[in-house]
Structure 1
């Protein structure tokens, strides 16, 4: 052996057999046919996704085994089929910078992914509403240096389900793992069909920054946990809640509200406008400005950012209401949903149900009170009572005695002359905004607390530039007469109003058998158009057809 080593060091060859020559390696073309078919399937799916801007709404393969089976069906008979592990290693790595990515070949441009619930609706007015929100932020930044301004972003969270006694139901928020004793197991009911629920109502009092470009998702978070059955969301409940929050704060000159377009916040509804009048009178502010986002764009509302914070308090949590006595439970079992409980319950059943849910409300309030936004603790409020809401409504009874508070809809309120006249003198209504401002008559409105050098202008409407693609800046529009003529859906509604009478007349002419294009007199058409516009009700028009509106 020593002699052989000496000869090897001297450079002699052939003394040791190189066994590596016997290892020809793994055959590289064994599964080429299979992978070619699989690659064709993937390319066809990719081509379809490209036409959808790279978005897919469902997975094409239920599992890795399903993917292999689809490729196998396209291969000739007796084609070698690789194992699941080998196919998996041909995927693209999720993180190409991790060491585990060295195991993947990226031969197949597929990955394991989780569906993202971030798909957003588009709306013709989304650009217009974004410009309006920018105007609102710049208005708040400008006016806070001259007077006391309070800005609130309001919204309701999704309902939190409550299970029946003895059957706790999950809140639906899983989130991440939570800390529990080793002897305990977190469990919840195996289904989520419930008759009871809670509705957390969020009011974010924004800390107005020094620039509109900075974040408005800062400030105090106020949360009210309402029972969805007997404390359902409505405009007057929201108004009474804001009164409860703001009343103990220093005198506020301008109150700004930004909401979504739900039926309890939509500023075009008569009930929402009447609740705004109550809020305006109760807080004695000099100006109230309400704006909302475009339909399907509630993600623009700063209050939506608070929902993920509240989810921390609801994650891995299951709730159930308390047990009532046998007689009450017998009645509650007859009701199949919240509407039946609300409408058919007797006063005794109603009171017992409220007490049974109160303990659940306390649990949720306690969990929310432990949360913080940017170091500022969440303030949890008790729900407002019916007496608080009625106290807020007293302003409508005092100002408009003939107004029926049980029917606050446009077809009824437009007939109340005192209300329409008051709104003409104090309000400015638009499709996405509603503003109220004090008048100079001290017999009507209390004297303004503002200094004489502070002048309040209406929040302007977004106006397009000459390029018809971008809107003017707030500085170029403030203090000027503006209207909604540059709102896309306003243009469409006006076009339909004008074309509808002419279409009707043509249809009538065709029924009489006269097909001449020149039979219709132009004066008759103009008269029909004027009549149709005058017949448009306030509920159909985007804003009231008043003298103030005509002025802009």
Structure 2
């Protein structure tokens, strides 16, 4: 059997011979010119070359055929003589014509191994219309795992074994022998645009710059978000991320795709610590802590996030990134997704932040969020895909201690229902506790529901001290700042040099700047040439601003019509909402001032009574310790509350 090269050369040889015959006919009639003579010689040489090539190809064909025949005979004798070795090394005689495929060259289990790899960590079909499995695995990862199994094939050869995206295309027709696996694109990679996206992004960039400047020893950077609720009694994962593979594979699944009963889901709250790397940048890597709550008996609120922060502080996984010398790091930065349970302008978020600020004696506490539709850029989102991968094919039990539902899905035994929810949450926690993300551990635990009456009184914004808020707190649309003051009677001593780096204590509002012939100037909101700058450039350009006491949301397009309404006319303090502005107006009312005077008077009286009792009880011991040459302390002498203030020079301005 001749090859296609021989056929091609044979055709060219016939064309050359035909042309030679025509030229020789002209020569016999003595009509051939000099150019014809030259062409005749050239064609004669070309004919001779073609004949030699054909002869060589024919000899090569015969020798290769003889070699293959001899090889088949030797292989057949070897298989007959050593059948066990042939089975161990996948040796088999190939009797068909043409080049054998990869599967026929000692890699017969290729299809089975591809299905096996794709089946691991898989989820059910999103539409539940067929028995499909969707594992989170890319084509490169599949090729790498096949090579680890001993299969020798390229990336393109692996792709040709999968179902093409379009079978009627030219490329799709090359997929002849395939397994029921198809690569698809992610359908949730489009992000909405928002008018405030540049201001919110610049705010988060300022916080990252601040964190990188102070480093890991002083800053704890936390990113938090609630993962999609995990159903109980159904496959936990339905959609996976970036590149997916659908596999038509027989599995045992429930015969329904609806929720067993209302609220039969678990709420995972994910807390991702972000470590500052050696380049002084906030990285996406760090330990992960997950709290799981019942979707029916509990919820995700500001109180739950406030409670979870104490769990992070007590966990061993977060000890290296959250503590320094056994205490919480003085600067805490929290990035949230801007949901109703953790949005910076909300009163419950403010109350929870103040409680954490006082409890852990922080220098600064920042809570920042991105604008709506841009929460996918929150750094905790990078941890969601590995968590979803572990959920693939997982069905959490809903009746571990016995069913608590009737045929209509109504609850028969509430206590049994709580126990079943707890068991399902513990099963999910066991799965995630075995996971490591970027070589960092993942800690997960189930949180039992608490009484809503007790939890509602934990964070009450109506009990906040308005005077304290005016000095220590600044709220805006996408940022909450709680900063320590310089008064040692109010706050403890600074643990960091933050007050020297940011002399005004609070972060400056984002402003766009542009460069023109006049130099650097402030750009308008709608000016396309305006660019937001980093934190330290913004501090240097503070003198260029046309006004003082600028609200932080001054350049937020979505709140331009509300700036004047939300700014106090007496103290020029900006508030992110009408409710916050209404709460602040109480500070300037005469009734509130009278109440504060009464409270201060009561506190001073209690302090004075306590000091008198302590002075009388310790009088004898103090007299024994007083030196003879020391004068007696007169009644009514001023009390030294802080030794540093007493020893400080009167010429130093604080």
TM-score range, shorter chain: 0.5 to 0.7
Partner of residue 351, structure 1: 415
Would you say the 8 A contact 2:208–2:282 is kept in 1? Answer: no
Q: CA deviation at 1:304?
A: 1.1
Offset of 1:135 from its aligned partner?
Answer: 0.9
The reply to whether residue 538 of structure 1 matches residue 602 of structure 2 is no
Provide the C-alpha distance between the structure 2 equivalents of 1:534 and 1:377, rounded to a whole number of angstroms.
Answer: 42
Distance (whole Å) between structure 2 residues aligned to residue 285 and residue 331 of structure 1: 54
If the length of structure 1 is used for normalisation, what is the TM-score? 0.59
Aligned to 2:223: 153
1:330-353 per-residue CA deviation (whole Å, 9 max, x = no partner) reads 599436xxxxxxxxx9xxx44322
Question: Do residues 472 (structure 1) and 518 (structure 2) align?
Answer: no
Structure 1 equivalent of residue 626 of structure 2: none
Deviation at 1:364, TM superposition (A): 1.0
Give the deviation of 1:132 after TM superposition: 1.1
Question: What do residues 142-178 of structure 1 show as CA deviations (whole Å, max 9, x unaligned)?
Answer: 1227x51101000000000112xxxx45532468689
| TM-score (structure 2 length as normaliser) | 0.51
The 3 A distance-change label for structure 1 pair 438 and 332 is farther
Alignment correspondent of 2:649 = none
Q: Are the aligned partners of 1:268 and 1:431 in contact in 2 as well (CA < 8 Å)?
A: yes
Rg: which structure is higher? 2
Closer, same or farther: CA 100–452 of 1 in aligned 2, 3 Å: closer
Distance 1:322 1:537, change over 3 A: closer
Aligned to 1:517: none
Counterpart residue number, 1:438: 484
Aligned length: 383
C-alpha contact (below 8 Å) 2:303/2:455 kept by paired residues: no
1:190 aligns with 2:270: no
Determine whether 1:488 maps to 2:557.
yes
Post-superposition CA distance 1:254-280 (Å, at most 9, x none): 110000111111111111111111221
- Structure 2 CA distance for aligned equivalents of residues 350 and 492 of structure 1: 50
Partner of 1:135: 206
2:267 alignment counterpart: 199
Tell me, in whole angstroms, the C-alpha distance in 1 between the residues paired with 2:416 and 2:235. 21
For 1:240, the equivalent position in structure 2 comes to: 307
The correspondence of residues 198-217 of structure 1 with structure 2, limited to 5 A, is 198-211=266-279, 214=281, 216-217=283-284
Structure 2 vs 1, CA of residues 221 and 282 (structure 1 numbering), >3 Å: closer, same or farther? same
Alignment RMSD: 4.5
8 A contact 1:174–1:316 mirrored in 2: no
Please, which moves more after superposition, 309-318 or 150-159?
A: 309-318
The CA deviation string for residues 186-233 of structure 1, in whole angstroms up to 9 with x for no partner, is 423431324300111111110023457x56211111111222122311
Structure 2 regions of 5+ residues with no counterpart? 1-13, 23-165, 176-182, 514-521, 525-529, 543-548, 589-654
Corresponding residue for 1:420?
Answer: 466
What's the offset of the Cα at 1:478? 3.2
Check conservation: 2:236, 2:393, Cα contact below 8 A: yes
Residue pairs, 1:318-333, within 5 angstroms: 318-322=395-399, 328-330=404-406, 333=409
User: What does 1:380-459 align with in structure 2 at a 5 Å threshold?
Assistant: 380-383=444-447, 386=450, 405=460, 413=462, 419-450=465-496, 457-459=505-507
Give 5+ residue unaligned stretches, structure 1.
1-7, 15-87, 102-111, 336-344, 397-404, 499-528
Alignment partner, residue 118 of structure 1: 189
CA separation of 1:237 and 1:305: change in aligned 2, threshold 3 A? same
Structure 1 pair 486–174 and aligned structure 2 pair: CA distance change class (3 A): closer
What secondary structure is seen at the aligned counterpart in 1 of 2:340?
coil
Residue 463 (1) aligns with residue 511 (2): yes
Contact 2:426-2:445 at 8 Å conserved across structures: no
Q: How does 1:165-184 map to 2 (within 5 A)?
A: 168-173=234-239
- CA offset at residue 141 of structure 1? 0.7
**Could you say which structure has the greater relative contact order, defined with CA pairs below 8 angstroms and 6 or more residues apart?**
1
CA distance in 2, matches of 1:225, 1:375: 23
Q: Classify the secondary structure of the residue corresponding to 1:319.
A: coil
8 A contact 1:222–1:380 mirrored in 2: yes
**Correspondence 1:306 to 2:374:** no
8 Å contact kept, 2:302–2:348: yes
Q: Aligned pair in 2 of structure 1 residues 177, 422: CA closer, same or farther (>3 Å)?
A: same
Within 2, Cα distance between the matches of 1:269 and 1:186?
Answer: 46
Structure 1 residue 240, shift from structure 2 partner: 1.3
Structure 1 partner of 2:546: none
Contact 1:159 1:200 (C-alpha < 8 Å) held by counterparts:
yes
- In 1, Cα distance between the equivalents of 2:484 and 2:566? 34
Shift of 1:453: 8.2
Equivalent residues in 2 for 1:214-293, closer than 5 Å: 214=281, 216-247=283-314, 249-250=323-324, 251=327, 252-293=329-370
